[in-house]
Structure 1
Amino acid sequence: MAKHYLVTGGTGFLGAALVKRLLADGHAVRVLDNNSRGAPRRLADVEGAYEMVVADVRDSDAVTAAAKGVDGILHLAAVNGTEFFYSKPELVLDVAVRGMLAVLDACRRNDIADMVVASSSEVYQTPPVVPTDESAPLSVPDVLNPRYSYGGGKIASELLAVNYGRTGFDRMTIFRPHNVYGPDMGWEHVLPQFALRAAKAVAEQPEGTIEFPILGDGCQTRAFVHIDDFTDGLAKVVERGEHQNIYHIGTPEETTIAECARLVVRSFGRDVVIQPSEAPAGETSRRCPDITKLKTLGYAPRISLEEGLPSLVEWYAANAHLAPKAA
């Protein structure tokens, strides 16, 4: 059945993909974003098919007004990107907590009983078991380390969503994305930074093996899920996710950071020598989701990292001029 959704953070990487999927599935969509990190260009191909509200998700009155008349809120607005965790931890936390409260207020004021909330794999930091299912304990290992501003903010968001969601909601569902990647995903993440670094190195050194510096020894692993697979998983959560349930969205395909660097450089047809360095404090050595629960909703990721990475590399090589000066 077609519904009317408000998507917060709808010009972000994940949000824009969700907006386009919802429209393709026949739903009506209203987007709320202040475009501080989102980019309206991500929705250029569906311009005119959705409503746009330019507002800060922390503005409770603005969110309440934007939610008027919708059937549900899909809350994705956040300040993501590892660089920001270290450089702007206060902002990261402020958007997480005030934004979640504003969305909850909007649901209560508009009698909206359907809410889906974006969390993150960062809530685990160093999970006790890998692959990790949704029951693993959440933790902030060191409150003095600004890196945990994001994971801590997401833990607070989950607590608020779950406990407010106990009354007045027919359905309150949380999803935890695990390392989603694709073209135009932002500038503060490892794969775009690798792509830009590789493009620059190839331009400066037209022949021979590329020496490629990375943070850490390269043995850290992640399970990168392509944006198309992620969006399919999120659509399953929006359509079939159960009340007071949490779902991982990702892939069980685990890859080392060193191998990611090699794949990026190989996309330019070049060989590479990895140059390791000291890892930043708080770096998680291994992260991979158990997606058994989401599979029960019909989810099955299809795109391997080797298949999905070239389009990301091509986009960043062609659009390096769009990068903010700080990236």
Structure 2
Amino acid sequence: MTEAIAFEPTPLERDATFYVAGHRGLVGSAIWRKLEAEGFTNLVGRSSSELDLKDREAVIAFFRETKPKYVVLAAAKVGGILANNTYPVDFLSDNLRIQVNVLDAALEAGVDRLLFLGSSCIYPKFAEQPIREDSLLTGHLEPTNDAYAIAKIAGIMHIQAIRRQYGKPWISAMPTNLYGPGDNFSPTGSHVLPALIRRYDEAARNGDASVVNWGTGSPRREFLHVDDMAAACLHLLENYDGPSQVNVGTGSDVTIKELAQIVADAVGFEGETEWDISKPDGTPQKLLDVSYLADAGWTSSIGLDEGIRSTVEWYRANALSLRG
């Protein structure tokens, strides 16, 4: 694997127009908070009802009007395994259109720096662990979300093509499993960590004697707090310029059983945890190699215990509206 390309640090102008596509989502909202905290004074965001990114003419008109200097493309159609497996056409078509429209409009508008956000699902199902950036396109994808993955791979290729053809210092970042404020805690659509938080919190409130989780609890997963992700995005925009997508994670993982215990402790659940081994475990391990990121000068700072505790606090403060 070629070494990460770092360039002379060039701080972004804090008063320049900065468009965050998907600013109300888990990642986009965290990036918005980070940029505000770092003194950016001209942030631009549009909800999907205000600007449908699948509408090419509307997107082009928006860029011509706002003329952003910087862009983070965090907008995407996302969902869990069930949704991805049931509606692959939607996930492929919608994400391709969002990406092509935003990237074409940004190119026409002369956007200086752009960061495209993907997902670790772009890598082959049986990629060597920890997963390096050069594992991309070396094997078969996970069939349940291959349509979404293909769309994100197309986005990476689009960024690389723009770099080659137009010399733009645009980049891509691929986060590991993210969690934190603004996550999806719905019973049917959430990922493993928010699902565990909801399950254990309800059990603690109800005084339940036990909680039942799927599988054996042995698979290993990596988790990154979304505020760390936001910090990494800004760091990469100011310190990295290379054609390869950059993995963003912690470089360490835990078993699902260990994760469940951290959540149980965070919510104050004192009962027993049972494991339904008749249910599937999924992939044994999914861990990103974050050497590129370290070479670019950034490492995560929010520990898993600390991050889960603060996420539980946020969930409890917003639980009624989330369930509503």
Q: TM-score, normalised by structure 2?
A: 0.84
Q: Is the 8 A contact 1:213 1:277 kept in 2?
A: no
Larger helix proportion, structure 1 or 2?
A: 2
Match in the other structure for 1:132: 131
Match in the other structure for 1:55: 51
Match in the other structure for 1:286: 285
Q: Segments of 4+ in structure 1 off by > 3 A?
A: 138-143, 277-281
Match in the other structure for 1:225: 224
CA distance in structure 2 between the partners assigned to 1:250 and 1:191 by the alignment: 15
Counterpart selection for 2:43 from 5, 29, 35: 29
Flag the 1:128–1:20 CA change in 2: closer, same or farther, 3 A: same
Match in the other structure for 2:8: none
Q: Secondary structure at the match of 2:165?
A: coil
Match in the other structure for 2:62: 66
Match in the other structure for 1:40: none
CA distance in structure 2 between the partners assigned to 1:139 and 1:319 by the alignment: 42
CA distance in structure 2 between the partners assigned to 1:236 and 1:216 by the alignment: 38
Residue 30 of structure 2 is aligned to residue 17 of structure 1: yes
Superposition CA RMSD, Å: 2.4
Q: Can you list the C-alpha shifts for 1:69-120, whole angstroms capped at 9, x where unaligned?
A: 1113211111223143234333222221111110122023323343210011
Q: Is the 8 A contact 1:126 1:287 kept in 2?
A: no
Q: Which amino acid aligns with 1:166?
A: R
CA distance in structure 1 between the partners assigned to 2:139 and 2:311 by the alignment: 31
Residue 97 of structure 2 is aligned to residue 98 of structure 1: yes
Q: Is the 8 A contact 1:212 1:274 kept in 2?
A: yes
Cα drift, residue 278 of structure 1: 4.5
Cα drift, residue 165 of structure 1: 3.6
Count of residue pairs the alignment pairs up: 302
Match in the other structure for 2:318: 319
- Of the structure 1 ranges 146-155 and 92-101, higher mean CA displacement relative to structure 2 is found in 146-155
Q: Secondary structure at the match of 1:147?
A: helix
Flag the 1:313–1:274 CA change in 2: closer, same or farther, 3 A: farther
Q: Secondary structure at the match of 2:106?
A: helix
Q: Which amino acid aligns with 1:136?
A: S
- Of the structure 1 ranges 251-260 and 310-319, higher mean CA displacement relative to structure 2 is found in 310-319
Cα drift, residue 25 of structure 1: 2.5
Match in the other structure for 1:205: 207
Flag the 1:250–1:113 CA change in 2: closer, same or farther, 3 A: same
Q: Is the 8 A contact 2:125 2:141 kept in 1?
A: no
Q: Is the 8 A contact 1:67 1:73 kept in 2?
A: no
CA distance in structure 2 between the partners assigned to 1:142 and 1:128 by the alignment: 9
Q: Is the 8 A contact 2:133 2:244 kept in 1?
A: no
Flag the 1:138–1:316 CA change in 2: closer, same or farther, 3 A: farther
CA distance in structure 2 between the partners assigned to 1:128 and 1:146 by the alignment: 16
Flag the 1:169–1:279 CA change in 2: closer, same or farther, 3 A: farther
Q: Is the 8 A contact 1:258 1:274 kept in 2?
A: no
- Of the structure 1 ranges 214-223 and 162-171, higher mean CA displacement relative to structure 2 is found in 162-171
Q: Is the 8 A contact 1:126 1:286 kept in 2?
A: no
Q: Which amino acid aligns with 2:44?
A: R
Q: Which amino acid aligns with 1:299?
A: W
Match in the other structure for 2:150: 152
CA distance in structure 1 between the partners assigned to 2:184 and 2:136 by the alignment: 29
Q: Can you list the C-alpha shifts for 1:268-291, whole angstroms capped at 9, x where unaligned?
A: 32243232344559x322111111
Q: Is the 8 A contact 1:4 1:70 kept in 2?
A: yes
Match in the other structure for 2:233: 234
Q: Secondary structure at the match of 1:135?
A: helix
CA distance in structure 1 between the partners assigned to 2:276 and 2:138 by the alignment: 28
CA distance in structure 2 between the partners assigned to 1:23 and 1:315 by the alignment: 20
CA distance in structure 2 between the partners assigned to 1:303 and 1:142 by the alignment: 30
Residue 190 of structure 2 is aligned to residue 194 of structure 1: no
Q: Can you list the C-alpha shifts for 1:4-63, whole angstroms capped at 9, x where unaligned?
A: 22111111111111112223333322113316xxxxxxxxxxxxxxxxxx2122112222
CA distance in structure 1 between the partners assigned to 2:139 and 2:150 by the alignment: 6
Unaligned runs of 5+ in 1: 36-53
Q: Is the 8 A contact 1:125 1:284 kept in 2?
A: no
CA distance in structure 2 between the partners assigned to 1:313 and 1:100 by the alignment: 33
CA distance in structure 1 between the partners assigned to 2:194 and 2:248 by the alignment: 21
Match in the other structure for 1:174: 172
Q: Is the 8 A contact 1:214 1:274 kept in 2?
A: yes
State the identity %: 26
Cα drift, residue 157 of structure 1: 1.9
Q: Is the 8 A contact 2:159 2:170 kept in 1?
A: yes
Q: Which amino acid aligns with 2:55?
A: D
Q: Can you list the C-alpha shifts for 1:281-308, whole angstroms capped at 9, x where unaligned?
A: 9x32211111111112221212221121
Q: Secondary structure at the match of 2:166?
A: coil
What are the equivalent positions in structure 2 for 1:81-120 lying under 5 Å apart? 81-82=79-80, 83-120=82-119
Unaligned runs of 5+ in 2: 1-11
Flag the 1:316–1:138 CA change in 2: closer, same or farther, 3 A: farther
